[in-house]
Structure 1
Amino acid sequence: MDIALAVLALALIFVHLLSIALTAIRVKPTTRRGSEPQTQPPVSLVIPLRGVENFTALTIPRAFQLDWPNYEIIFCVADSTDAVIPHVRSNIAAFPHIRASLLVGDDRISANPKLNNCVKGWRAATSEWVILADSNVLMPDHYIATLMSAWRKDSGLVCSPPLGSRPADLGSELECTFLNTFQCRYQYAAETLGQGFAQGKTMLWNKPLLDSLGGIEALGAEIAEDAAATKLVRASGRHVHLAPAPFEQPLGTRSFAEVWSRQARWARLRRVTFPQFFAPEILVGGIPPLFLALAAALLAGADGKTLVAVMVAVLGLYYLPELALAKLKGWHVSWTSFPAMIMRDALLPLIWARSWMGSSVSWRGNMMTVGTQESTLSG
């Protein structure tokens, strides 16, 4: 039994290290520009907004400063009283050389409020290439060029997961460990193995292609538009590809409750939309291999010093390569990253268990009820 437990612990550590190696090979440093696309067609940038966030004053102007010869920006707001509207209008006035517009209204085609907010922008887009981008993405000047260069002959969609940056407290440090060396890592590793998953933070679509597959309304087939996009693209025989490097999402301050709520919501959505991939998530993180290794040592009759040595070895083997990955790629690393990673992994089993309880999630004041067959929205 002790040998079996030790083998299982080593297997989990191997999968962890493999995902780090695959990500290290696949992802370019965030400061490096991707290869320039062969052509530079017009692009429509559709940005849904709701409320003023920590870095709204920084992220909105970035959309007007992209190194691309021909693009338009379409800002979408559902509520005419939204406090973000003056920020949008002031930036449109400050950059008169960029074609930009603000559309206000709500098209309730689904239970997903963000998707509903994007519909009017999609319909108004004048280009064959459309980027749906969350308002809290900190776009580098090569944002469009990097996405366009990642499109391949067999692509159905190009995405980028968010890269947490600029944390201001322990809560945002914790969220960085969730976003960067956990979720971003596994997403790039999966794509490297031919199992790309869409990420709604940034999505580059070929508009005629998506329209031929049912249009933006088809993304309402699932409670999460990225899950619907993944299934739609795969069903068409194409692939979801990722940008060479993830784009920043500056965080600022985050309370523990905010981090828990967001991660629990995403976990529940993954459980509903991809249950076959979500179920094994109980085995990810450093806690399962640590528990298995200590159990194997105890069954083998190890003394206290040996148990401490096993614990140190497992923690070092598990977390030092993860920290090295972040450092190598220029992702956020600080003296709190190591304890934040341990805190994250201690929360993972609790988040996994919580996802199986109940069927509702809250997104910016909207309560969504998720299920395997249907979803409803109230708020």
Structure 2
Amino acid sequence: MMPMVYTVYGFAIFFMLAFVVVWSIHIIALAYSKWKLHRTVDRSPPEQPYPGVTILKPLTGVDPNLFSNLETFFTLDYPLFELLFCVEDEHDPAVMLVNSLMHKYPHVDARLFTGGIRVGVNPKINNMQPAYLAGNYPLVLVSDSGIRMRDDTLLDMVQHMRDDVALVHQMPFACDAEGFAAVYEKVFFGTSQARMYLAAEVLRINCHVGMSSLARRCALEECGGLAAFGDYLAEDFFIAKEIVSRGWKMRVCTLPALQNSGTRSVGALQARLTRWARLRIAMIPTTTLLEPLSECLPLGAGAAWAAGQLLGAEPLPFFLVHVLMWFLSDWLMLRSVQNGSPPFTKVQFLVGWIWSECCAPFILFAAFFNPEISWRTRSYRLDWGGKAHELKPKLKF
């Protein structure tokens, strides 16, 4: 009987420690967001000229917002940069769109690269490789096709590039849009994703998402260039890991990355989150085992049971207060990331928040039970450690 009692109390102590740690992360992230995000970018003339920036824009296909998203890169308020567009297929409709923008802004140094160079299984790395090799400047910005830029965003990123920093990245967020999918996207990226991202920045944990990331070319070359990461689908994580292991630092900049895809859907976002979860499971499996305890409902259930065992508390009221406080904390976090009120009502936020929290455990379970990763028209399987192997398409008869 005694070993069973010790086991119960051991689990109860574990859940209560997890409860304290996760709520500490809430407090750290919320406080840091108030201090860090949306600072006014210094536009005064610098003492030393800003370094030139090579901007790599990998493109595949066209969505309704692509033209306006890309146009924001032609209007950046930065003294010296080049725009290098990367398209795998020369017949891709994105080629015509890029050409029209280059014609509209002839004063901007912009070039188009097609065909790519195969250096591994990662199609994004393969697509960018020719442009990366042709780049002229000491800083390299990799920016996904769905990113929309404020005119001072690049300036903000470069100003964070101190002498000991080699990687500056934007925290993922989303542009305002209509529909439930847009609410779901903004709630996820403005609450749970923002919380872990900002806490990781404070605690110096690698949580790098490379959708908008500025790196020193010399630091990339120390690691072997982009080609060295061609066998990883989560190249952003491994680029950050290698750069930091060489003594460099990385920083999150003031302005969040504004994702502005023209084709939003709940299913597409959940498929994306499931893909990210599969990547995490392969890259850091031990940490991923604890991931359910970072979610509101599993943590609340475990902590409510533990409070009953250790403190004699009533589990249901404890759980309900936990959920309410989590909800209010997420509302404050979203307002901080948004820099004001979100573009939807509190009722819409409540519905989106409930949906996001209820779906989170199922997304993680789906990633565990189906390790195959689908990315656009390709499928992959990961080894432990994160290296990927492309799967050949199944023949249809």
Q: TM-score, normalised by structure 2?
A: 0.86
Within the candidate set 323, 327, 338, 1:330 is matched to: 338
Q: Residues 122 and 26 of structure 1: is their aligned pair in 2 closer, same or farther, counting only changes over 3 Å?
A: farther
Does residue 241 (structure 1) correspond to residue 254 (structure 2)? The answer is: no
Within the candidate set 348, 352, 360, 2:360 is matched to: 348
- Please tell me whether the aligned partners of residues 121 and 230 of structure 2 are also in contact (alpha carbons under 8 angstroms): yes
Structure 1 residue 238, shift from structure 2 partner:
1.6
Q: Residues 16 and 341 of structure 1: is their aligned pair in 2 closer, same or farther, counting only changes over 3 Å?
A: farther
Structure 1 residue 240, shift from structure 2 partner:
2.1
SS of the residue corresponding to residue 254 of structure 1 reads coil
Structure 1 residue 114, shift from structure 2 partner:
0.9
Equivalence for 1:176 = 186
- Please tell me whether the aligned partners of residues 26 and 244 of structure 1 are also in contact (alpha carbons under 8 angstroms): no
Equivalence for 1:376 = 389
- Please tell me whether the aligned partners of residues 5 and 292 of structure 1 are also in contact (alpha carbons under 8 angstroms): no
Partner amino acid, structure 1, of 2:330: E
The 2-side partners of 1:255 and 1:231 are apart by: 32
The 1-side partners of 2:22 and 2:202 are apart by: 19
The 2-side partners of 1:346 and 1:206 are apart by: 40
Equivalence for 2:5 = none
The 2-side partners of 1:243 and 1:35 are apart by: 15
Equivalence for 2:3 = none
The 1-side partners of 2:121 and 2:306 are apart by: 47
Equivalence for 2:23 = 14
- Please tell me whether the aligned partners of residues 167 and 176 of structure 1 are also in contact (alpha carbons under 8 angstroms): no
Partner amino acid, structure 2, of 1:18: I
Equivalence for 1:229 = 239
- Please tell me whether the aligned partners of residues 121 and 231 of structure 2 are also in contact (alpha carbons under 8 angstroms): no
Moved more, 267-276 or 19-28: 19-28
Describe the superposition over 1:252-288 as per-residue Cα deviations: whole angstroms up to 9, x where unpaired: 5522221221000001111112223322211112102
Describe the superposition over 1:6-45 as per-residue Cα deviations: whole angstroms up to 9, x where unpaired: 8357425523423433432453227x32576653122111
Partner amino acid, structure 1, of 2:199: A
SS of the residue corresponding to residue 116 of structure 2 reads coil
Structure 1 residue 105, shift from structure 2 partner:
0.6
Structure 1 residue 293, shift from structure 2 partner:
4.9
Partner amino acid, structure 2, of 1:55: N
The 2-side partners of 1:267 and 1:51 are apart by: 25
Structure 1 residue 172, shift from structure 2 partner:
2.5
Within the candidate set 316, 320, 327, 2:324 is matched to: 316
Q: Which runs of 5+ in 1 are unaligned?
A: none
Moved more, 291-300 or 346-355: 291-300
Q: Give the share of equivalent positions with the same residue, in percent.
A: 25
Structure 1 residue 328, shift from structure 2 partner:
2.9
Report the aligned-residue RMSD: 2.5
Q: Residues 301 and 90 of structure 1: is their aligned pair in 2 closer, same or farther, counting only changes over 3 Å?
A: closer
Q: Residues 284 and 301 of structure 1: is their aligned pair in 2 closer, same or farther, counting only changes over 3 Å?
A: closer
Q: Residues 26 and 54 of structure 1: is their aligned pair in 2 closer, same or farther, counting only changes over 3 Å?
A: farther
Q: Residues 53 and 184 of structure 1: is their aligned pair in 2 closer, same or farther, counting only changes over 3 Å?
A: farther
Equivalence for 1:28 = 37
The 2-side partners of 1:182 and 1:172 are apart by: 16
The 1-side partners of 2:263 and 2:177 are apart by: 6
- Please tell me whether the aligned partners of residues 44 and 73 of structure 1 are also in contact (alpha carbons under 8 angstroms): yes
Equivalence for 2:4 = none
Moved more, 231-240 or 41-50: 231-240
- Please tell me whether the aligned partners of residues 122 and 231 of structure 2 are also in contact (alpha carbons under 8 angstroms): no
Q: Residues 319 and 102 of structure 1: is their aligned pair in 2 closer, same or farther, counting only changes over 3 Å?
A: same
Structure 1 residue 375, shift from structure 2 partner:
1.6
Q: TM-score, normalised by structure 1?
A: 0.90
Moved more, 337-346 or 64-73: 337-346
Equivalence for 2:72 = 62
